A and B are shown apart, each in its own frame.
Chain A
Amino acid sequence: MREERFSIETTIVNILIIILISVGVIFSTVTALGLVRLPDVYTRTHAASKSSTLGVMCILGGTFIHFLFIEDHFNPQLVIAIAFLFITSPVAGHLIGRASYMSGIPLAEETVRDDMKIAVEKKKGEQK
């Protein structure tokens, strides 16, 4: 095992792992930066629910490849974690956005147009 450490294959796999984990870390950083810089709840949800998903996914993928090829250990929990992340994070983003809209949190000043306002008001008018 020791002498195979420096074969071509290991080098390629290592490069892949380094790229994946670096991309993951960069996207996580962008998420944090977005949370600080963006103006309102909705645009922050954009940053939090997606760039972080891709970042965490890349890190998990890199870890999976490392254990599979370097340590010769297939770890199914990592695959399941990636799948669950895919399923749950859009729902979380949607619910945060919807809950904040329904409780009347205003959009940012830069907002160009708002179609949902018309629909919500129309529905409220029907209920009365």
Chain B
Amino acid sequence: MALQILLNFFLAGVWMFMTNAFTPTGFAVGFIVGLLLIVLMRRFFSYRLYTSRIWAVISLFFLFLKELVLSSFSVFKLVVQPRLNIRPAVFELETELTHDWEVTLLSALITLTPGTLVIGISEDQKRLYIHAIDFDDIEDAVSSIKNTFERAILEVSRP
């Protein structure tokens, strides 16, 4: 993926030399032309196009914003209601992410969505220990994290 981006920049540089237009506009045009060439030549790369990965990153970001706002309101309701009937719990989440940065990103996302807080990661980085502020169903919580964040992170890291 890094190779494709580098190639795209290189093609933009070649375009600037060919058209003798050493301006930001010349660079932008060269970048678009290079991107077009890379899309045409996609069969010869062993990995998918880098634009699809950038798209995955953007959609992960918006998913995260959505979750942040939605669950902020749930904690808001929890704190404001007159009788405090919360049921905290610590539960275990088995993750299939392997790289360090993926696990770090997943735990940062879990921590930033209100209602869940990562308080421990096992030695082999396979299990996360999550403190939930209001816990009704373990299957629900695990599957919601798995279906939203983990899947989105996997979509980003897929080669």
Contacts and interface: CB of A to CB of B under 8 A. Distances in A.
Contact of B72 (A39, A51, A108, A123): A51
B77 to A, nearest CB: 10
Contact of A27 (B72, B86, B113): B72
Interface stretch (A8-16, A71-79, A92-100): A92-100
Interface residues of A, number: 42
A26 B69 CA distance: 13
B55 to A, nearest CB: 20
Interface stretch (B1-9, B16-24, B25-33, B127-135): B127-135
B117 interface: yes
Contacts of A63: none
Interface string A114-125: 111101100100
A112 B89 contact: yes
- Residue among A45, A108, A111, A116 with the highest chain B CB neighbour number at 10 A: A116
A43 B115 CA distance: 9
A70 interface: no
Q: Could you tell me the dominant secondary structure of chain A's interface residues?
A: helix
- Residue among A33, A51, A53, A90 with the highest chain B CB neighbour number at 10 A: A90
Interface stretch (B34-42, B43-51, B118-126, B149-157): B118-126
Interface string A21-58: 00000110010011001111011011101110110000
A50 B116 CA distance: 10
B102 interface: no
Given A30-B80, A33-B79, A51-B114, 13 more contacts: A37-B79, A39-B84, A42-B119, A43-B86, A53-B112, A90-B111, A93-B111, A94-B117, A98-B119, A101-B120, A114-B90, A116-B129, A123-B123
Interface of A: 26-27, 30, 33-34, 37-40, 42-43, 45-47, 49-51, 53-54, 86-87, 89-91, 93-94, 97-98, 101, 107-108, 110-117, 119-120, 123
27 contacts: A27-B76, A34-B79, A40-B88, A42-B88, A42-B131, A43-B88, A45-B117, A49-B111, A49-B117, A50-B111, A50-B112, A50-B114, A53-B112, A54-B68, A89-B112, A93-B117, A94-B107, A97-B119, A107-B88, A107-B90, A108-B88, A112-B89, A113-B91, A116-B90, A116-B120, A119-B127, A123-B123
